[in-house]
Copies of this chain bind each other. A is one copy, B any other.
Amino acid sequence: MESQAHPSDRAGLEYASWRTASADALDRRVAWLEEHGHGGTWVPQDLGGGREYEFTDPDGHVFRLYFDTEAYVAPEGKRPVIPVNFQAYAGRGANVRHVDHLNLLARDVRANRRFWEEGFGLRTYEIIELPDGAEAGAWMSATIQGHELIYTQERTSGSARLHHFAYLVDTREEVLRAAEIFADARIHIEAGPSRHTAIQGFYLYTREPGGNRIEVANGGYLVFAPDREPYVWTAEEWATKPGWGAPIPPEFHIYGTPDVAE
Give bound CA distance, A246 to B189, whole Å: 8
Give bound CA distance, A172 to B88, whole Å: 20
Q: Is the CB of A145 within 8 A of B181?
A: no
Q: A244-B179, A246-B246 are in contact. Are A226 and B21 (CB under 8 A)?
A: yes
* Consensus secondary structure, chain A interface: loop
Can you name 14 A-B pairs with beta carbons within 8 Å? Answer: A19-B226, A21-B226, A82-B197, A82-B200, A82-B242, A84-B125, A85-B200, A143-B143, A143-B144, A144-B144, A171-B171, A171-B173, A193-B193, A193-B244
For chain A, give the interface size range: 35 or more
Q: Which 10 A-B pairs have the closest CB atoms?
A: A88-B184, A173-B173, A21-B226, A81-B242, A89-B184, A84-B231, A89-B180, A91-B181, A179-B244, A82-B242
Q: How many copies of this chain are found per oligomer?
A: 4
Residues 223-250 (chain A) with a chain B CB within 8 angstroms: 224-227, 231, 237, 242-247, 249
Give bound CA distance, A93 to B200, whole Å: 20
Judge if A51 is at the interface, Cβ distance under 8 Å: no
Q: A163: shortest Cβ distance to chain B, in Å? A: 20
Give bound CA distance, A171 to B169, whole Å: 13
